[in-house]
């Protein structure tokens, strides 16, 4: 086996088939506090080819050197909007036909791999310390969680996003 680099790598990536289960995906950063996490969300959002990233509340927004560095400048490619109040964004997404799911452990949550995802999905990411607020949860259709099989209680928010996002695109039913 030989690594692909340079032009062969570019050619390989250009010829990738679309995902088996394409989605219109929107990511909502309800109040993600750290610029490194927001940057990672942009880098992963680009990789998942999301339609849009919604930033709200205390989430830092581009232009921000830390976000750009971690995002590898994908904050200049992926469309994003800022909403002062996440609830306004969630209401608008619902009216546009999105199924809205929080990444959160609630009394009613389901493991992310036990869900049949519709074509239009909005994933809501909460604050690193406080998670998704009660007001935002009230506007969600479901809460999803990534099981923790060790001793830790959670994964970093961008890591959970990648696990759930890729699962959704590659789900075959």
Binding mask 70-89 for a second copy (x = CB under 8 A): --x-x--xx-----------
Minimum distance of a second copy from residue 74's CB (angstroms)? 6
Give CA–CA dist 173/171, Å, rounded. 6
Number of amino acids touching a second copy (CB under 8 A):
58
DSSP 18: P
Interface stretch with a second copy, choices 52-60, 82-90, 117-125, 135-143 (CB under 8 A): 135-143
Minimum distance of a second copy from residue 24's CB (angstroms)? 13
Residues that bind a second copy (CB under 8 A): 1-4, 8-10, 12-13, 16, 18-20, 40, 43-49, 72, 74, 77-78, 102, 104-109, 113, 131-132, 134, 137-138, 140, 143, 146-153, 155-156, 158-159, 162-163, 166-167, 169-170
């Amino acid at each position: 086996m030989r690594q692909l680099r340079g032009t062969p790598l570019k050619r390989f990536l250009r010829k990738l088939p679309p995902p088996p289960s394409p989605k219109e995906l929107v990511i909502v950063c309800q109040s993600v506090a750290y610029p490194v996490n927001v940057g990672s969300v942009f880098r992963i959002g680009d990789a998942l080819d999301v339609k849009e990233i919604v930033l709200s509340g205390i989430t830092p927004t581009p232009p921000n050197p830390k976000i750009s560095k971690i995002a590898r400048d994908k904050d200049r490619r992926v469309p994003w909007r800022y909403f002062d109040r996440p609830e306004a964004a969630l209401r608008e997404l619902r009216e546009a036909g999105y199924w809205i799911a929080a990444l959160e452990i609630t009394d009613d949550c389901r493991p992310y791999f036990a869900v049949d995802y519709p074509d239009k999905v909005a994933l809501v990411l909460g604050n690193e310390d406080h998670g998704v607020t009660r007001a935002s949860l009230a506007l969600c259709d479901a809460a999803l969680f990534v099981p923790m099989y060790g001793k830790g209680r959670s994964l970093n928010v961008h890591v959970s996003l990648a696990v759930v996002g890729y699962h959704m695109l590659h789900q075959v039913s």
